[in-house]
Homo-oligomer: A and B are copies of this chain.
Amino acid sequence: MTIDEHAPTSAGVTAAAGFRAAGVTAGLKPSGRPDLALVVNDGPSQAAAAVFTTNRVVGAPVVWSRQVVSDGVVSAVVLNSGGANVCTGPDGFLDVHVTAEKVGTALEVSPGDVVVCSTGLIGERLPIDTLLAGVDLAVEALSPDGGPDAAVAIMTTDTVPKTAHVHVDGEQGGWTVGGMAKGAGMLAPGLATMLCVITTDAVLDAETAASALRAATAQTFDRIDSDGCMSTSDTVTLLVSGASRAVPEPADFTAALTQVCAELARALVADAEGATHDIAVTVTGAQTQDAGLAVARAVTRSNLFKAAMFGNDPNWGRVLAQVGTVPESVAAFDPDQLDVTINGVQVCKAGVAFRPRSEVDLAANREVHVLIDLHAGDEAVTVWTNDLTHDYVHENSAYST
């Protein structure tokens, strides 16, 4: 297959044919910024799949939307910022139901085919009348070019909207995968904390869509960990319109979908709250993928390591100290065989200081590459994270007040 990222004329969720979208200001945010997005699948297919947070405490929208996608059919996704609708009890669930009813009535689709996503503060009811009035505005604003507007309306502490798409050429003009995501904090694996809608005009059934989505998110959103904190609202929905009439090989579709997810995941890291560095922690020589992942995640969760990165201090001892916390039952390695390389400079060889840390230049680039060789196998895994900064502390010490 040939991937061409520039063929579609629209962007984000409207890059693929068969979709309309809108982003409007309902008035949920005190800032007056756009806060309500709507994505509609005009078909002919309405196949869909979704993955959700693995948190046991979830918002009412997650409870509702899990049910909606269970039959593999979704007609629309409505997303609001300005409130997460989590820990709001039966009243909060009713708010979700009423929202889906409103969207269903306006679009003449079943409310049971409307996914609802909410993001914002936990523990506060949404002003439901404001939200419902916003749905009317959004329906009115729906457009085949509405993808970029929708991407803006789902932003919370994000500083830039995040969209991506790939176009795959083919005999009848090919097919497209497009998407949008939001998330700048509570970004941790299983799944990265965020809301994301991905659309495609390829022809595929719900089962194929679901398996492709699981594979793509496992390699992308599950491998970013900005701050180790898992959200209660993570939702990634994949909508299939089939409007291109093109039927891709499942593997080709998974590859294109993975690329869109990877771009969006990378964009989330690049916009993480207060971060000054995007840090790729790559573990090589792992016996298994799970072992490599466990080691990489241990390092990406170290506040001491992340604070050192903020200080442009290649303090690799903090890397080794985290590697050592992973139990032998989880990851095989000999502590006396560990190598660490930071931005190309091997600072630790076989568990002992090697080239001087002064040779490592961290200040020059936002990206930092930390390479850990376990010398225990052939698997390699990369997890992205951010540094721990004054701005992260500042933003998150004053979020709800």
Interface string of A322-347 (1 = CB under 8 A from B): 11111110000101001000000001
Assembled-state Cα–Cα distance A313/B394 (Å): 12
Contact A57 B351 (CB under 8 A): yes
Contact A307 B397 (CB under 8 A): yes
- Which residues of the partner chain B approach A324 to less than 8 Å between Cβ atoms? 55-58, 230, 232
Assembled-state Cα–Cα distance A325/B304 (Å): 22
**A–B complex contacts, Cβ < 8 Å, 29 sampled:** A57-B320, A57-B321, A57-B324, A57-B351, A84-B317, A87-B317, A87-B348, A87-B352, A88-B352, A88-B353, A89-B352, A92-B352, A121-B317, A122-B321, A123-B316, A123-B347, A123-B357, A228-B301, A231-B321, A232-B320, A232-B324, A303-B392, A307-B393, A307-B395, A308-B396, A310-B393, A313-B398, A388-B393, A388-B397
Name, among A55, A229, A317, the residue most crowded by chain B CB atoms within 10 Å (CB to CB): A317
- Which residues of the partner chain B approach A322 to less than 8 Å between Cβ atoms? 229-230
- Which residues of the partner chain B approach A397 to less than 8 Å between Cβ atoms? 307-308, 310-311, 313, 388
Contact B315 A230 (CB under 8 A): no
Supplied contacts A56-B327, A311-B401, 19 more A-B pairs, CB within 8 Å: A54-B325, A86-B321, A87-B320, A87-B351, A123-B357, A228-B302, A228-B303, A229-B303, A230-B322, A301-B301, A304-B396, A308-B400, A311-B397, A311-B398, A313-B397, A388-B396, A390-B394, A392-B393, A393-B393
Name, among A87, A186, A318, the residue most crowded by chain B CB atoms within 10 Å (CB to CB): A87
Interface string of A139-170 (1 = CB under 8 A from B): 00000000000000000000000000000000
Assembled-state Cα–Cα distance A119/B104 (Å): 64
Contact A56/B87 with A229-B322, A389-B393 known, Cβ cut-off 8 Å? no
Contact B318 A122 (CB under 8 A): yes
In the A-B complex, the 4 residue pairs with the closest CB atoms: A122-B317, A311-B397, A57-B324, A307-B396
Contact A325 B400 (CB under 8 A): no
Contact A123/B353 with A228-B303, A320-B232, A388-B303 known, Cβ cut-off 8 Å? yes
| Cross-chain contact of A86 among B186, B231, B304, B317 (Cβ < 8 A) | B317
- Which residues of the partner chain B approach A232 to less than 8 Å between Cβ atoms? 317, 320-321, 324
Taken together, the copies of this chain in the complex come to 2
Assembled-state Cα–Cα distance A304/B227 (Å): 8
- Which residues of the partner chain B approach A312 to less than 8 Å between Cβ atoms? 401
| Cross-chain contact of A229 among B121, B186, B318, B392 (Cβ < 8 A) | B318
- Which residues of the partner chain B approach A316 to less than 8 Å between Cβ atoms? 122-123
Interface string of A364-383 (1 = CB under 8 A from B): 00000000000000000000
Contact B57 A335 (CB under 8 A): yes
Q: Is A185 an interface residue (CB 8 A)?
A: yes
Q: A301 — nearest CB in chain B belongs to which residue? A: B228
Q: A55 — nearest CB in chain B belongs to which residue? A: B324
Residues of chain A from 32 to 85 with CB closer than 8 A to chain B in the complex: 54-58, 84
- Which residues of the partner chain B approach A389 to less than 8 Å between Cβ atoms? 393
Q: A331 — nearest CB in chain B belongs to which residue? A: B56
Q: A190 — nearest CB in chain B belongs to which residue? A: B325
Contact A338/B393 with A229-B318, A229-B322, A321-B122 known, Cβ cut-off 8 Å? no
